[in-house]
Amino acid sequence: MQSAASSLDVGVEEPCGLGPHGQPRRRSLLIVDDDASVADGLAFLVTGEGYDVEIAADANAAAQVLDRRRFDAVLTDLSMPGGGRRWLARLRATRPHMTVVVITALEAEAAVFATVFATSAHLADAVLGKPVEAGVLFDLLDNFLPVVRA
């Protein structure tokens, strides 16, 4: 697990599947959340399942990381510095094929609205409520990302 502040060995990466030398590559996720306990908890959860993870504390830090490295998917909060509709629109405009999953702690009615808004505007592929249920998250990621086999 790397933080946004750590140095990266960027290299050439292919989307999920085989790396540049024909070897299986782990699926990669960027987790964007200004609540460190949420970001760290998600990172712990997904690294335990073999994902390559990096964390960014806000949308601006995430944009810097995305300029240096390709990810298969982004798990992002909305209610954070630089977050919201503009962040999702910028993310979708610059990386239209990357899977985007919004994670939110909004009340149930607001979460339903956020789901309809984000997916109908094609700004996100899915919206999950906090706390994130592991089974739901992994089912969703398996649905959107190809399986990498050794």
Q: Is residue 6 part of a domain?
A: no
- The pLDDT, as a whole number, for residue 83 is 84
- The pLDDT, as a whole number, for residue 3 is 44
Residue 10, classified by CB atoms within 10 Å of its CB into exposed (0-12), middle (13-18) or buried (19+), is: exposed
- The pLDDT, as a whole number, for residue 119 is 64
Report which of 99, 96, 97 is spatially closest to residue 128, judged by C-alpha positions.
99
Do the beta carbons of residue 77 and residue 87 sit within 8 Å?
A: no
Q: Is residue 33 part of a domain?
A: yes
28/99 Cα distance (integer angstroms): 11
CA 138 centroid distance within chain: 12
**Number of structural domains in the chain:** 1
- The pLDDT, as a whole number, for residue 54 is 97
Domain of residue 98 covers 24-141
Quote the pTM value. 0.78
Q: Is residue 5 part of a domain?
A: no
Q: Is residue 77 part of a domain?
A: yes
72/61 Cα distance (integer angstroms): 18
Q: Is residue 2 part of a domain?
A: no
- The pLDDT, as a whole number, for residue 67 is 94
CATH code: domain of residue 86? 3.40.50.2300
pLDDT, averaged in runs of 10, over the chain (150 residues): 38 43 70 96 93 95 94 91 86 90 73 65 82 91 69
- Residues 6 or more apart whose CB falls under 8 angstroms from that of 65 comprise 4, 8, 30, 54, 56
- Residues 6 or more apart whose CB falls under 8 angstroms from that of 104 comprise 77, 78, 79, 110, 111, 114, 127, 128, 129, 130
- The pLDDT, as a whole number, for residue 56 is 97
